[in-house]
Every structure is written in C-alpha cells, then in structure tokens.
Amino acid sequence: MNEALPDVPEVRVVGLPQLTSGFDLVERLDLPMHLKVHGPLEPLGGEQLAQLSERINLKGRGGAGFPFHKKLRSVAETAIKRGVRPVVVVNGSEDEPACRKDTVLINRAPHLILDGALLCAEAMGARTLVIGVTRESTQRSMEAALAERGLSNGRRSALRARVQRNPVRMVTGAAASLIRSIDGGPALPPGRKVSASRSGVGGAPTLLSNAETFAQLAIAARIGPERYGNTGLYDEPGTVMLTVSGAVARPMVIEVPTGVPLRYVLQLAGAPPVPQGVLTGGYHGKWIDAATVGEAIVSRNSLQQVGGSLGAGAILPIGQDTCPLGESLRVAQWLAEESAGQCGPCYLGLPAAARGLEDILNGGGPAALEAVKQVARNVKRRGACSHPDGSAMFLESTLKAFTDDLAAHVLGNGCGRRVEGVLPLFEGGRAPTGVPGGGEENGPSRQKIYVDWTLCRGHGLCADILPEVFQLGADGFPTIAQAEVPRFAEAKAVRAVRRCPALALRIEEEARGQAAPSSRTNLPVLSPGRGRRALGR
C-alpha cells in the first residue's frame, strides 16, 4: 500500500530550472541566497504586470486555470471604482494527498512566491497580504520568509503581511473558504458564489491565486516575456510543476517545460512501461487510458484534447496488476469524507456515489452502474463550492476510462485483480472511515420500483428522496417507469413510496432468487427482518 507523500519529496527538473533554481545548492533559499540565485527585482506598474501576464499566457496553476491578467485588471478596476485598497492573497492550501508542488515551493523557495505577490501588491496599492497554508512546515517557512524581509502584521506597517493557517481539508483550498477564514470565520465555503475580484477579504477586491502562479510571475518579471517564451510551447510558454506519484518507484515533484511528452515524465519517476491508466490533474481530475498516454504532452490544451486535465498538476499512473475501480473507490470514499457537510448534493451525493461504486464492485449489476451515473449527474453545479463538481468529474472519468473492467464487474464476476492502494491518501494511504456502506447494503439489487402513470401528478418528491433512481424530465415527471433499486438505497425507496402524495409508486421485491407475487398496492414488499429497520430510517 502506498504511503502518504512527505511534505517535500524528491525534486527533479527537465531542462534548465526556473522555479527550482538553486535547489541543487541548498535545501531552502533564504533571502540572501534567493537574491544570489535570482537577482534583484524591479517594480512594475499594474498595467505592465497585466500585459506581462497576458503575453506569457499565465493562467492560475491551482486547478481552474483562469487567466491571471484578467484577475489583475478586474481587481484594479474594482478598487479604483470603489475607492478602496485591494488585498492580495496567496493560496498555499495544498490539501490533496497526491499534490505537493506548491508545498515544495513554499518550503524551498518562499521568496520567489513573495516576489510575485509583492509585485502585485505594490502595483495595485494593496496594504494587506495574506498567505494561506495548511501545513506546519509551510507555515514555518513562510513566516520565516516574512521575517527575513522585515514584514509583519503590525498596524503601523506600510504593508501588513501575515500567514493564515487552516486545517488540512480538501474544501479549505477553495478561494471562498480561504477568504472566509481570513475574515475570522471557519475555513468552509460560505454557500454563496461571489467573485473575490469584486468582494473578497473584508469585502475589498481581492487578488487571489495559488503559490506557483505568483512564482511564475516573479520569474517572468525578471527575465522578460521574450526569454520566458523561449521555454516550452508557443501558446503555453514556461515550465510546469508536477507531482508524480501512484505506481512509481520514485514519487517526486518535477519542473518540466510545457511540451515534454507525458511518457517521459512517467519514465523519470519509474512508472510501469505500459500503465493501465494515468490520473491527471489530481483527485478532481480525469483518467486517460494506456493507449492515450503515448499521445499526451505536458500542457493544459494537450491534456484536455486527450480527455485529461492539468488541474492541480498531479500525475498518478497505476499498473496492470491492480483493480482500477477499486483504486478509484478509495479516492471516492476520501472525497466523500472531505465534504464540508453544508449542502445536500455534496453531503448526501458524494457518499451515495462512493456506495454506488462499492456496490458495482460487489456485484450490484447494471442497477448499481445506473445509480452511480445518476448520482454523478445530480451533484454537478449544485454545490456551494467546486468539490462536488470535481468529485463527479473524477467519478465519471473512472467509468469512461476503464470500460473493460467495468463490464467485468457489472456483467461478470469482477476483474480478478486486487486493490494495491497505489493512489496516495493521508494517514499512510488508509481508506477513510465513516462512509456508510458495506456489508448487507451491497450486492445485487433485490427490489424494483414502479411508477403508476395513472396516478402520478409530477410532484417530483421521488427525485428528491431517491436521486439514485429517479430524474425528472423537462415536463416535471419521472423519466423512467420502472427501475431496479440499488441495495444501499432500499430504505430510501421505501420512504419515496410512502411519501408520494399521489400514491403512484410501488415496490416489488425478489426474495432468495425467486420473484415475489406482483403487488399492485403502494405498500412496499420487504423481506423478513428488514421492514422495521428500513421503515425506521
């Protein structure tokens, strides 16, 4: 089983280093060493920074990939219009078990990140700089870097700078969560989506991006757009920081120019010569299959074209000797555990998706597969943050990338391979606890639920209670007349039947492999011993 990655794994570079310059000399570049390696940095005006960012096509390196020059201009324009000073926030909250690139930069090159952040703060007249972190090592390194520059959070400081430490949680890294914590609240999404560029920390327009983005800006400001463009692809110049783990001999963080073949990166880390699949972008990313790996190059556009994602810069191959659905189940369970518990699509949908995937592995058949697909569709674009969307994308990609294995589990007796646990999780790779499922709630479906169209009036309550089975059409009525009920959703099916205002639902159940007599009432037919437990839920 794969152990959790250390905060600072092995660091490698392909070609000439930019972000990792000086890493071969010292473990951490303090301010004097930073200046020796990179040299001084001249200030730039706000429009100069925006033009520089646009010329090098700098996009956020935290996952979303939003153009940085648009953020800069939006924050500056809003600040001028409202007559307030903006705030600059560095997001160093890298809380995926498979991501370490920003953590490496903060631990080993903190002043490069501060260079980019301070450039923006000075150009826009910001008087507040906050660096969000979640690890003790990154907190220590960044606090030391601020002290080396003589920066503090004192009231008389020209620029008030501090480190905001938050818990290690997947949702902590969301921009809205970080802003909320800086304002004194919990590090959780606030439930409303407001652009930080318009209203961020303290209601002020806020320039927020991740650590690597600010470091890339600092490199480009020093060497200029022409020299910066000499590295990598024409339309995506520069380098990319990647975290490579999974089924590899040497987990590492690696700086590579865009345009490098993905197979070469995998080879450097000691991945299998022919991986079964590669998860790109992290646990909110997408799988690409073995046939596609040879076509992919390291760039945002290339990975998108082959069905992958650059995302948070995590690359995770798996070998031929492990069950890809089982590996994905461990991640799906962890994603469910990481829910903030604030909105139904995430709090209820993600555990349901994990249970559904587990149901497939335990012989749930086509009903389990359809249930998983239904849940994934239902959680998208309905959450308070991007966590349910990213988790659904991961789940849908899993079902799409491993069709042969999926068929073996859905239609046969499984793929016959073990789950090696090669995808890293926290706590030594241990699968999370607390996700409902397992035992009696898994296995083949035993129930069918039916819609009586002569009674149905389109109230839609069935889709709210049992989204694993029902989805409403454009006319507001269920899109199916009958469906198998996954084992884990049997109790919910009972509730749907009993709460239907029009009494238009009924359940028929097979017991011990034999079909029970057909019932035409709206009362559920339950196997002995299960009725009291199911109805009591």
Looking at every residue in the chain, the average pLDDT score rounds to 87
C-alpha 76: how far from its chain's center? 29
Dist. CA 519–CA 499, nearest whole Å: 18
Beta pairing class for 277-280 and 239-244? unpaired
Q: Which residues contact 511 (CB under 8 A, 6 or more apart)?
A: 446, 527
252: phi then psi, degrees, rounded to nearest 5: -155, 160
pLDDT score recorded for residue 517: 39
pLDDT score recorded for residue 536: 34
User: Residue 251: pLDDT above 70?
Assistant: yes
pLDDT score recorded for residue 513: 44
3-state SS assignment for residue 404: helix
pLDDT score recorded for residue 429: 38
Strand order across the beta sheet in which 482-485 lies: 482-485, 447-451, 505-511, 514-515
Band the pLDDT of 26: cuts 50, 70, 90. very high
User: Residue 142: pLDDT above 50?
Assistant: yes
pLDDT score recorded for residue 347: 80
User: Residue 516: pLDDT above 90?
Assistant: no
User: HEC profile for 246-263?
Assistant: CCCCCCEEEEEECCCEHH
User: Residue 268: pLDDT above 90?
Assistant: yes
User: Residue 486: pLDDT above 90?
Assistant: no
User: Residue 376: pLDDT above 60?
Assistant: yes
Quickly count: other Cβ atoms within 10 Å of residue 310's Cβ.
26
What integer is the mean pLDDT of 333-360?
87
Residue in this structure with the two tokens 């409902």, named with its chain if needed: 436
Q: Which residues contact 356 (CB under 8 A, 6 or more apart)?
A: 364, 368, 371, 372, 375, 468, 486, 488
Q: Which of 51-55, 201-205, 334-338, 371-375 has the lowest mean pLDDT?
A: 371-375
What Rg, from alpha-carbon coordinates, does the chain have?
26
3-state SS assignment for residue 118: helix
What integer is the mean pLDDT of 228-233?
96
Dist. CA 462–CA 503, nearest whole Å: 11
Dist. CA 342–CA 344, nearest whole Å: 7
What integer is the mean pLDDT of 84-110?
96
What integer is the mean pLDDT of 68-97?
95
| pLDDT tens column, 438-485 | 334 445 567 889 999 889 999 988 888 887 788 788 788 888 888 888
User: Residue 104: pLDDT above 50?
Assistant: yes
C-alpha 24: how far from its chain's center? 31
pLDDT score recorded for residue 435: 30
Dist. CA 236–CA 412, nearest whole Å: 45
Band the pLDDT of 301: cuts 50, 70, 90. very high
pLDDT score recorded for residue 500: 92
pLDDT score recorded for residue 526: 30
What integer is the mean pLDDT of 514-534?
34
User: Residue 436: pLDDT above 60?
Assistant: no
What integer is the mean pLDDT of 308-329?
95
Residue whose C-alpha is closest to residue 253's, from 384, 102, 388: 102
With pLDDT > 70 as the criterion, what percentage of the chain qualifies?
91
pLDDT score recorded for residue 446: 76
pLDDT score recorded for residue 382: 74
C-alpha 48: how far from its chain's center? 33
User: Residue 534: pLDDT above 50?
Assistant: no
Quickly count: other Cβ atoms within 10 Å of residue 14's Cβ.
16
Which is higher by pLDDT, 311 or 446?
A: 311
User: Residue 152: pLDDT above 60?
Assistant: yes
pTM of this structure: 0.81
